[in-house]
Amino acid sequence: MKKCTAVVIAALCLFCSCGKKIGDKPEIKQNSPAPVTSITETADAEDTETKNTYTPLNYDQQKAVWISYLDLDELLADDEKQFKDNITQAFDNISSLGLNTVYVHVRAFGDSYYLSSSYPINQNIPTEEGTPVYDPLRIMVKAAHEKKLSFHAWINPMRLSDDAGMERFPEESILYRCWASPEDFPQHIVKPYDSDFYWINPAITELRSYIADGAAEICENYDVDGIHIDDYFYPTTEEYFDSQAFAAILKDDSSRGLSEWRRENCSLLVSEIYNAVKSVDENILFGISPQGNIENDMDQMYADVKLWCSEPGYADYICPQIYFGYYNTVCPFTETLLRWEGMMTSDSVKLVCGLGLYQADRESEFINDTGIIARQIEDITADKKCSGFAIYSYDSLFCKDTQRFLDEREAISAIVN
């Protein structure tokens, strides 16, 4: 009883640092100013000095957690000191659990949680006369390294914002011009029929370069240890998304299939991001987190995970989201992990296993089986073909105050520490 009471008290203390409960649906507001490149000369000088001497921090065995933009918005504050306190507490929570790596969402909808010349600042970051009060990424990177945490900047390369958000891009930006003059840039950025958000067409060479340059910008200006992308590649399987570009391809090669061509586009995008990151620092990692369902990756998202796992030049690590229980009827955990291991034929690519703690109150096997994530971590740790694990998400680990999640965290802590 004393042990249980202590766990509850500790969890409540952690929950207090999370703010209000995070919802599942994004609430996107677009009121922030155009992109800026500096806050103060002092901050710029500090970044320049550290960037010239910094060596990326990464671990052979990742013990990671995703901090999504939803989590991050809960940690933002009106002033720099409060944000520093909030993010320091979050990293304290992570470090105390025995984790060593964070994947932090720094660009989810084409809006940045850092100073950028290419992307508008996120509207939740406080500003004074159009200038951000503080630079969240600069603060987060420093706070993470103080806790010996490896910091991977997580971006969504293809997903953009709605019309109000696109209007906030600088007018000289290619993305703004694609949005403002679609007749001049047909199907360069596309809004799927069932969405309010635009997506970049990766078939467009100039836009792939823009994405790669955006990743390089982060690596050049901040002491990040990695760049991380997730499973948001093509948003639809419908032909309308890129029909004009594909029609042009068919003029030269009528035998090409749409799926094959789209997978090639995604592979070109991934390789260009990889090369852009390595051009800044060979020691900065580039990781991809595709869906755990391999068929969905290949045929729905057009993410050629079989290629990326088997050849160098695409990623340093692959972190499939194996958010399944042991008895899942489509992708049972053990069998799915073995399939991923079987594809890892390149010595330059490591396998990190993504685990879905959020399932603890959603999916029946997780609901009825306490400690399932801890057992999966145990299996991964014992597996020499795996180079660690990543837990989705920070909210599920530290901001849920139900006994169900407290029990899960206690079980995870017993395995990891």
Tokens matching residue 17: 């640092």
Neighbour count for residue 266 (Cβ, 10 Å) = 25
Phi/psi for 209 (5° steps) reads: -65, -40
* pLDDT score of 60: 98
For residues 215-246, one letter each, b for 16 or more C-beta atoms within 10 angstroms of the residue's C-beta and e for the rest, the string is bbbbbebbbbbbbbbbbbbbbeeeeebbeebb
Give the number of residues written for the chain. 417
Q: How far apart are CA 62 and CA 343, in angstroms?
A: 20
CB–CB of 349/312 below 8 Å? yes
Q: What average pLDDT does the segment 34-51 reach?
A: 48
Check whether the bond before 348 is cis (ω within 30° of 0).
Answer: no
Residues 6+ apart with CB under 8 A from 253: none
At 280-305, the pLDDT tens digits run 999 999 999 999 999 999 999 999 99
At 123-139, the pLDDT tens digits run 999 999 989 999 999 99
- Answer whether residue 62 shows pLDDT above 70: yes
Number of domains making up the chain: 1
Phi/psi for 226 (5° steps) reads: -165, 160
At 182-231, the pLDDT tens digits run 999 999 999 999 999 999 999 999 999 999 999 999 999 999 999 999 99
CB–CB of 241/184 below 8 Å? no
At 238-294, the pLDDT tens digits run 999 999 999 999 999 999 999 999 999 999 999 999 999 999 999 999 999 999 999
Tokens matching residue 253: 């090669």
Enclosing domain of residue 141: 2-416
- Answer whether residue 76 shows pLDDT above 70: yes
Residues 6+ apart with CB under 8 A from 1: none
CATH code at position 104? 3.20.20.80
Q: How far apart are CA 66 and CA 389, in angstroms?
A: 11
At 337-363, the pLDDT tens digits run 999 999 999 999 999 999 999 999 999
Question: How does residue 46 score in pLDDT terms, banded at 50, 70 and 90?
Answer: low
* CA distances, 76 to each of 238, 287, 303, 327 (Å): 38, 26, 33, 39
For 4-13, 60-69, 227-236, 316-325, which range has the lowest pLDDT when averaged over its residues? 4-13
* pLDDT score of 7: 38
Name residue 75's amino acid: L
SS3 state at 204: coil
